[in-house]
C-alpha cells in the first residue's frame, strides 16, 4: 500500500477540565518520560503505511508542542517520521478539531484516514495495522472492546432496564474511514449543528456501515488522574512502542 493513501489525525485539543483543577491539558502530563500525546505520535508516525499525521490542538499550545515534538524526534533519530507530522490549530470541541484536521488534508487528500484520541497513549502498531487492513477492506471501521460488565439503563437514580451485553461494544480509537466519507460526515454535521460522541457515529448518520476491529484492554483512555495510576500497569506497552521507534530510526534515519 502506498503511504500516501493513509493519513492519521490525533485529536489533542482537550481542556483537561476533568483531569486537573488548574486546567492543564491531560495530554501534557508525562507518562514514562514523555507528554501523553507523544506516544500516539510515535506509534502512528513510525508506521510505513501512514504517510501523514496531523496533530490537532489548541492554537495557544501549538508552539510548545512543536518544540517538544522536534526535540523528541530529533533526539531519537526519527527525522523521516517527523517530516510526516503537521500541527494544526483545533476548535472548541473534539468534533470541530477533527473537522479542521480533515480540512488540512484537502489539498492532497489521502484515500483513508485514522482518527485517534491523544488520551489513548497505549496504541500498539499491531492495533494500528489491524485498523488499516480493515478500513481498506470495508471503507469504515472502529476499534472497540466487547463489554464484559452488565450494563444498566438508569433514570432518576433507579434501574429501568438491564441491557443485553452480548451485542454491546465500547468504542475505542483509532476510528477510520475513507477520507471523502469522513469529510462529508463532518461537514454535514457542522452545517446541521449535529453533535456526535465519535466519528463512527457521524459515519453511521450518513448511512455508512462501520465495522468492528477488536481492541485490547490496554488501549485505555486517560480521563481522570486515577487513570495515570492504572496506566502504570501497561508500561510494557510503551516499551513495545519505544522498541518499534528505535528500529525505525536505525533503518530510516
110-114, 174-178, 198-202, 215-219: the lowest-pLDDT one: 215-219
Residue 111's alpha-carbon distances to 55, 56, 70, 85, 106, in angstroms, are 18, 20, 27, 18, 11
* Mean pLDDT to the nearest integer, 59-79: 95
Closest CA to 114 of 6, 8, 2: 8
Q: Cα separation of 32 and 135, whole Å?
A: 31
Q: Cα separation of 159 and 200, whole Å?
A: 28
Give the model confidence (pLDDT) of 75-118 as tens digits: 999 999 999 999 999 999 999 999 999 999 999 999 999 999 99
Give the model confidence (pLDDT) of 219-231 as tens digits: 999 988 777 777 7
Q: How many CB atoms lie within 10 A of CB 20?
A: 15
Give the model confidence (pLDDT) of 204-253 as tens digits: 999 999 999 999 999 999 988 777 777 777 777 888 887 888 787 655 54
Q: Which residue has the cell 527525522?
A: 79
The pLDDT value recorded for residue 19 is 55
Q: Cα separation of 98 and 9, whole Å?
A: 7
Q: Cα separation of 131 and 227, whole Å?
A: 25
DSSP, residue by residue, 69-108: HHHHHHHTT-HHHHTTEEEEE--SSHHHHHHHHHHTTTTS
Q: Which domains can be identified in the chain, with CATH numbers?
A: 3-252 (3.90.550.10)
Confidence check: pLDDT of 43 > 90? yes
Confidence check: pLDDT of 20 > 60? no
Q: Which residue has the cell 484520541?
A: 117
**What are the grid coordinates assigned to 107, written together?**
489539498
| The model scores a pTM over 0.85 | yes
Confidence check: pLDDT of 134 > 70? yes
Amino acid at each position: 500500500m502506498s503511504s500516501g493513501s493513509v493519513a492519521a489525525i490525533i485529536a489533542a485539543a482537550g481542556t483537561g477540565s476533568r483531569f486537573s483543577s488548574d486546567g492543564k491539558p491531560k495530554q501534557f502530563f508525562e507518562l514514562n518520560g514523555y507528554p501523553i500525546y507523544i506516544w500516539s505520535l510515535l506509534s502512528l508516525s513510525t508506521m510505513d503505511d501512514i504517510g501523514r499525521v496531523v496533530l490537532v490542538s489548541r492554537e495557544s499550545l501549538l508552539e510548545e508542542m512543536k518544540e517538544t515534538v522536534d526535540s523528541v524526534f530529533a533526539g531519537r533519530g526519527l527525522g523521516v517520521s517527523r517530516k510526516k507530522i503537521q500541527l494544526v490549530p483545533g476548535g472548541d470541541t473534539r468534533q470541530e478539531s477533527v473537522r479542521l484536521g480533515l480540512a488540512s488534508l484537502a489539498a492532497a487528500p489521502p484515500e483513508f484516514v485514522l482518527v485517534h484520541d491523544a488520551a489513548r497513549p497505549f496504541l500498539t502498531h499491531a492495533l494500528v495495522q489491524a485498523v488499516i487492513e480493515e478500513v481498506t477492506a470495508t471503507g469504515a471501521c472502529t476499534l472497540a472492546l466487547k463489554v464484559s460488565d452488565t450494563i444498566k439503563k438508569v433514570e432518576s437514580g433507579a434501574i429501568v432496564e438491564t441491557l443485553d451485553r452480548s451485542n454491546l461494544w465500547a468504542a475505542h480509537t483509532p476510528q477510520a474511514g475513507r477520507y471523502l466519507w469522513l469529510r462529508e460526515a463532518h461537514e454535514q454535521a457542522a452545517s446541521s449543528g449535529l453533535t456526535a460522541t465519535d466519528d463512527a457515529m457521524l459515519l453511521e448518520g450518513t448511512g455508512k456501515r462501520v465495522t468492528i476491529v477488536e481492541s485490547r484492554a490496554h488501549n485505555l483512555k486517560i480521563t481522570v488522574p486515577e487513570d495515570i495510576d492504572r496506566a502504570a500497569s501497561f508500561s510494557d506497552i510503551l516499551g513495545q512502542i519505544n522498541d518499534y521507534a528505535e528500529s525505525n530510526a536505525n533503518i530510516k534515519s
